[in-house]
Chain A
Amino acid sequence: MEVAIYFSGVVFWALLAFFVRNRKIQVPIALMFVLWQLGFGIFLYSKINETWTPYFRNDALSVIFISILSVTAIFTIINSFIYFSHRNEKPLIRSIYLLALMLFFGCMTGVFLANNAGLLWILTEATTLAIAVLIYHERSIESLEATWKYVFVSTIGLSFSFIGIILLDLSLKDSGGLNLFFSSINHSLIINNTVLFQSAFLLIVIGFSIKMEVFPLHTVCVDANSIAPSPVSALISTSLANVGFIAIFRFFKITTYTPMHDWASHVLFIIGSLSVLYAAIYMIRVKNYKRLVAYSSIEHMGLVAIGIATGGLAWFAVVLHLIYHSFTKSSLFFQLSQLIHMYKTKKLAGVGSCFKLNPLGGLVFLLAFILILGIPPSGMFFTELMLFKTMIEQGLLWLVIVIVLLLTIIIWIFTKQLFRILFKNVGKQQLSTIEPSPWYESLPQLILLLFALYLSIQPPDLLISLIQQAVLP
């Protein structure tokens, strides 16, 4: 009932935002939607671990990710309206954007709450439909291409995970099984047919890799990220990647109750390492700053995949890492929106003098880059350290060395490009054509980054105990 009320509310606000075409009225509607989302997050926390229906369950993990989503929603809505003001949108196109955005938030919340594998799959598929509309928002040839590729690959990938879910259920039938419900899983499962179980897990991971932005179906995410409006890119890179994480994590957890646990860990080690390698290689030749940041997401999600495979303390590190990553990466994408508006290009060669033109914006960039690269006091420094420590304890020193080398390359490229954006002098002729963004447009990002910094330096006990509950085996 409670979930039904939430979804009805989302549909109501989305339809209202769609039918009311006036921007001044859409602002309070969007604000009401954000309050609705935040309120639902708080309600879920107050009723944690209560099951209302077998199909939805609000465990600690879903509460954490819905809270991240709700906080991101505030800043996404603010930045969406800043984005509209830069572009002089037609009212209909703006309304379609808001409709798709609100439904997208609703679907993601549903995925985080889903206790049934079939339902999780359906809601993930629904996120594809909503995000397709958002990627296509600018209606250019490039956005059409990016949307087409994203929808096509995403639907095929999710078809794979659908087969995987069917096969997984069948392979577990002999030992009481899954019956598609995560909470009713038997903690000591017998696998009679290992080929069937392995095929199922592989198909599930391949399918959801498109949402989590990890190898092998990550490439279309980079295209989508580089073309979509920046507030949408922020969501694809953070909340949607969290959707992929939660799907893969819930299925991986099932493998920990079987003798196939080690095999499944190896699969995720390979996927994670290849993702970090891919990000490092492609970052070297990247010429577009949005693609640069998109590759950084693949790197971080690769680390997360490695963390899932490592298990133990690494699971704690991974959830904390995702919290920091979500807030930092989304602020970075929001800030990139200003660069596009100021320089009218997404090419790294066309930007520079950001500190001179927009000091607060420059400061936001500097802070965001420090935090995203995991340089202390960034929380990601500590989570990566925790991950590497657990890996070394498990005898994976060689993998830690490889990953650290790849991260060094990534830090070098990122720093080089950051200095180009902040300090490289642009010609006088170009300088005269640039229209600097007002300082207050950088303020929301600064607040979000300071919040991430606060969580890094002094994570509240409440958060720590929630994560501890969430990663219990």
Chain B
Amino acid sequence: MEMLFILLFFVSLFYIAISGRLFTCLNLLILQGLLLFGVAIVELNEINMVNLLIVLLETLIFKAWFMPNYLKKVVNRNNIKRQVNPYISGFNSLLIVSLIIIGNLVFAYYIQNDFLKPAYIAAAFSGILTGLFLIISRKEILMHLVGYVVLENGIVLLSFSVGKEMPFAVNAGILLDILISVLVFGLFINKIGKMFEDMDITKLTSLSD
């Protein structure tokens, strides 16, 4: 069952790389949130109830519902244009994400041990690197945020795969991290939207020598 979730996670990475619409990307974040919820149910059934509840709250309520919808609200409120404007074409993006996934499958084979399953490692690191790729290759600040959330999803996936071994602090850490990012980023998107009219990172170039 968990292999199906992992496969769908890979598919969502491909889709997000070629998507030209902001709302499609945000919907894909909802899908990823649901997939993480599925993984959590299958993988973390042995940990204690409180911990499991926090994890489920984090994936289902926070990742699959609150965050994408909050970002959609930000888009609507600030009249942000809904077309994604990448530096790299859809085909090349697809190629790069494919290379990322293949590279991570090889990497996962090398670092696997009794506690780390290769499929999880490959999916998690692919998520992290695809997130970084989205940040580098897209001009819109909101797409940077989408890239960041994809990166975070990769990290959460990794921590779920080792969830039985890790203490409560790790889950608390993830939650804090996500809270900080959304609160700060949400505030800043509003501020940046007001100050720069359209939210394009090419405007953020006043700091240099």
Residue ranges of A at the interface with B (Cβ–Cβ < 8 Å): 116, 118-119, 121-122, 125-126, 128-129, 132, 141-142, 144-149, 151-152, 155-156, 158-159, 162-163, 166-167, 169-171, 173-174, 180, 192-193, 195-196, 199, 223, 226-227, 282, 285-288, 291
Contacting residue for B180 out of A125, A174, A192, A282, CB 8 A:
A125
Not counting A156-B148, A170-B115, a sample of 18 additional A-B residue pairs whose C-beta atoms are within 8 angstroms of each other reads: A116-B169, A122-B176, A141-B195, A144-B188, A151-B184, A151-B185, A155-B148, A155-B177, A156-B135, A156-B151, A162-B177, A170-B165, A173-B113, A173-B115, A193-B111, A199-B111, A226-B207, A285-B209
Chain A residues with CB under 8 Å of B173's CB are 118, 121-122, 125, 162
- Chain A's nearest CB lies how many Å from the CB of B117? 11
For A288, the closest partner residue in chain B by CB is: B209
**The residue from A152, A163, A226, A288 contacting B128, defined by CB atoms under 8 A apart:** A163
Chain B: residues with CB nearer than 8 A to chain A?
110-111, 113-116, 128, 132, 135, 141, 144, 148, 151-152, 155, 158-159, 162, 165-167, 169-170, 172-174, 176-177, 180-181, 184-185, 188, 191-192, 195-196, 204, 206-207, 209
Give CA–CA (A286, B152) in the complex, Å. Answer: 36
- Judge whether B151 and A287 touch: CB under 8 Å: no
Chain B nearest Cβ from A124, distance in angstroms: 10
A-B contact pairs, 6 of them (CB 8 A): A129-B180, A141-B195, A169-B166, A170-B162, A193-B110, A282-B209
Given known A-B contacts A144-B188, A145-B206, A192-B113, A125 and B195 have beta carbons under 8 A apart = no
Which A residues are in CB contact (< 8 Å) with B148?
Answer: 152, 155-156
Contact across chains for B177 and A145 when beta carbons are under 8 A apart: no
How close is B158's CB to chain A, nearest CB, in angstroms?
Answer: 6
Identify which of A159, A171, A285 contacts B177 (C-beta below 8 A): A159
Contacts of A180 in B (CB 8 A): 167, 169
With A and B bound together, what is the CA distance between A412 and B115 in angstroms?
54
Given contacts A128-B180, A282-B209, contact A166 B166 (CB under 8 A): yes
Q: Which 9 A-B pairs have the closest CB atoms?
A: A118-B169, A196-B111, A223-B207, A195-B110, A145-B204, A170-B115, A122-B173, A195-B111, A129-B180
Whether the pair A173, B165 counts as a contact (CB closer than 8 A) is yes
Partner of A287, one of B155, B188, B209: B209
CA distance A180 to B192 in the complex (A): 38
The answer on a CB contact under 8 Å between A163 and B158 is yes
A291 touches B111 (CB 8 A): no
- Is B207 touching A146 in the complex (CB atoms < 8 A)? yes
| Contact assessment for B204 and A147 in the assembled complex, using a CB-CB cutoff below 8 Å | no
B209 near A166 with CB under 8 A, answer no
- Chain B proximity of A109: nearest CB distance (Å): 18
Contacts of A196 on B, CB cut-off 8 Å? 110-111, 113, 116
Task: Tell me the complex Cα distance, A56–B126, Å.
Answer: 35
CB of B155, distance to nearest CB on chain A (Å): 6
Least CB distance from A423 to B in Å reads 24
Cα–Cα distance between A180 and B172 once the two chains are bound (Å):
14
Given A155-B148, A155-B180, A159-B177, the answer on whether A144 and B162 have CB atoms closer than 8 Å is: no
**A199: B residues at CB distance < 8 A:** 111
Q: Report B-chain residues with C-beta under 8 Å of the C-beta of A155.
A: 148, 177, 180-181
Q: A142-B206, A173-B115 are in contact. Are A159 and B167 (CB under 8 A)?
A: no
A206 smallest CB distance to B (angstroms): 12
| Contact present for A142 and B111 (CB under 8 Å) | no
